[in-house]
Amino acid sequence: MTAIIERIEEETGIYQTWLEVRSSLQKKYGTSVFNNWIKHMDFVNENNGEVVLSAPTRFIKEWIVSNYIANINSLFSQKNKNVKSVSLIVKADSQTQRTSFANEVKQVVVSGVDVTGQNVNLIEIPEDEHFSSPLDRRFTFDNFVVGKSNELAFSAAKAVAMSKAVISGNNPLYLYGGVGHGKTHLMHAIAWHIRNNTPSRSVVYLSAEKFMYQFVRALRDKDIMAFKERFRSVDVLMVDDVQFICGKESTQEEFFHTVNYLLDRNKQIIISGDRSPSELDGMKERVRSRLGWGLVIDINKTDFDLRLGILNSKIAQMSHVEVPGEVTEFLASKISSNTRELEGALNKVVAHSTLVGSKITLDATRNILSDLLRSNEMVVTIAQIQKKVADHFSIKISDLTSARRSRCVARPRQIAMYLCKILTAHSLAEIGRKFGGKDHTTVIHSVKRVEKLIQDDKEFESEVHAITRAVNGV
């Protein structure tokens, strides 16, 4: 037993110091500040006394660095003499992503109340207070905006939540996708629905990180049998961000036996991760096999229509806030990385308007979000343009780079060259080389020809604009 404890302590390392620092920060700044800023930070790693933490968006990172990083450094130094410095990165920049104990709430707060005029409520499930993570009241099925990228995940999650018995083939239900794609929202929605409609079913929802923490604590307290009994007596086990236990052998072992036990007794298991089970490097093969045993669903990146729907849904929940349509369309087209960053951008714009007392306009939005917009600018490549044009006209990319002069190829080639000229920083000569070694004069002719057609033919203009939007991911 001692050897197991030592191995797990080695795996968690300085992470325990980070938990102590978090606790001290909450006491120092209070619940409001902690919930809206500090708790978004995750522990990434430590190397030679240099601790790396992460924030989910650039905006939150900059706010923390401006207001709290000095005290974070000081607390780390006080609690662990080996810590020399603390740095903060954006979560997407980290190769080894960590997850937070509590679920993230991205509300810009004014005097303890968010800009929507609503209180931010995170509530523990009473019967599982010691084991479960908080649930956010806003994360329900009614508040989930459905689009093409997430409709399958939404339908599966709702089916599992509404069924009083395990659905054959849906156990475990494994949802995966990038940061801010809606995994945690669906997890919370399932837990809320079961709690409100079938309260007799025992539900435990927590992050994989907290599962590991509870396991370590049970070992230290020599209370491992109580830990096993608690987790193996539930009707529904929900574990968020399972990738956290990759490389944690002892935790994986206990997690595997817990999942196995519940599956054998026909209990429902719902898991989320940032990758599919087969891509979880550092996860034991038998664990990956168990996770992929049921229904595995990829929640894809949001498209323009879904992002616009999410923004409109959030605005509808805000009291006395008017956001022009051109602003929401602008945000939906420019911020496509994840919905959390999209909502954070909206919150920042609304908060600025509330604090300054000014109207929300497109020009003001550009100024307020200038740094964020620069970081989200898509770098368009010639290859991307060629692929989108080829797909639009149902031809091969090789046709665009060939010497063929038939109209069905020549016109798409001219459009592709035109888009390369206006959407990339490549020279005319470089563009010509990417189209089968064409001369720069050929590119000039193509650009002028397309410009003339856009001016004279509205239908042609609409077609070029549609391809442009496709290239930009809108």
| pLDDT tens string 125-180 | 344 445 677 788 888 998 888 888 888 999 999 999 998 888 877 889 999 987 77
Q: Does 137 lie in the same domain as 51?
A: no
- What sign for the dihedral angle of Cα 322, 326, 331, 332? positive
Of 298, 321, 350, the residue that ends a domain is 298
110 belongs to a structural domain:
no
For residue 112, is it within any domain? Answer: no
Looking at the fold, whether 169 and 294 belong to one and the same domain comes out as yes
**pLDDT for residue 95:** 35
411 inside domain: yes
Q: In CATH, what number is assigned to the domain containing residue 32?
A: 3.30.300.180
What is the arithmetic mean of pLDDT over 21-33? Answer: 83
Same domain, 244 and 143: yes
Angle at 345 between CA 124 and CA 378, to 5 degrees: 120
- Residue 94 banded pLDDT, cuts 50, 70, 90: very low
Residues 93 and 28 in one domain: yes
Among 139-153, 211-225, 259-273, top mean pLDDT goes to 259-273
**Domain shared by 159 and 272, yes or no:** yes
Q: How many domains, the chain?
A: 4
Do 132 and 241 lie in one domain? The reply is: yes
- Based on the fold, state whether residues 160 and 258 are members of the same structural domain: yes
| pLDDT bucket at 271, cuts 50 / 70 / 90 | very high
Residue 131: what pLDDT? 64
Q: What is the pTM of this model?
A: 0.53
Quote the domain boundaries for residue 361.
304-376
What is the predicted pLDDT for the residue at 115? Answer: 33
105 within domain boundaries: no
Q: Closest by alpha carbon to 147, among 4, 300, 6?
A: 300
335 or 120, higher pLDDT: 335
Looking at the chain, the whole-number percentage of residues with pLDDT higher than 90 is 19
* pLDDT, mean of residues 446-459: 89
Contacts of 471 (CB under 8 A, 6+ apart): 380, 384, 385, 388, 419, 423
Confidence of residue 109 (pLDDT cuts 50, 70, 90): very low
Indicate the helix (H) or strand (E) that contains 461. helix 458-471
